[in-house]
């Protein structure tokens, strides 16, 4: 059994994505669905504490070396977003964006990524 040793850090754009997703969900589907989808997003983010190679994650080296995605639709939960992240030094998972799965992921990377 592995110990959760990775810390999750949401970048500025990922934090903004999280807020905008919940605002859209509230406006389109109401307060009850916001609570459900917020829990879905948080659960998917929490799974990253196991490390960057969490079950179901996909390497996206064709977009950016070291980039990975994890779809939030997991463990019986429904959702339409990818968490875009990479491993950083000090056992940190750097969450770069949270994007709808119909979006072109490469087009929405922050310009300052190396």
- pLDDT tens digit sequence for 77-98: 889 999 999 999 999 999 999 9
pLDDT above 50 for 101: yes
For residue 29, count other CB atoms closer than 10 A to its CB: 12
Give the model confidence (pLDDT) of 46-88 as tens digits. 999 999 999 999 999 999 999 999 999 987 888 999 999 999 9
Give the global pTM: 0.90
CATH class of 7-105: alpha beta
Q: How confident is the model at residue 30 (pLDDT cuts 50, 70, 90)?
A: very high
Cα–Cα dist 89/101, whole Å:
28
């Amino acid at each position: 059994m592995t110990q959760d040793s990775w810390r999750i850090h949401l970048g500025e754009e990922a934090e903004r994505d999280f807020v905008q997703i919940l605002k859209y969900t509230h406006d389109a589907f109401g307060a009850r669905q916001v609570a459900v989808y917020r829990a879905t997003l948080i659960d998917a983010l929490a799974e990253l504490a196991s490390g960057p190679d969490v079950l179901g994650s996909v390497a996206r080296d064709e977009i950016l070396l070291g980039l990975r995605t994890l779809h939030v639709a997991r463990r019986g939960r429904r959702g339409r977003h990818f968490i875009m992240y990479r491993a950083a030094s000090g056992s940190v998972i750097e969450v770069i964006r949270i994007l709808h799965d119909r979006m072109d992921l490469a087009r929405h990377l922050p310009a300052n990524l190396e």
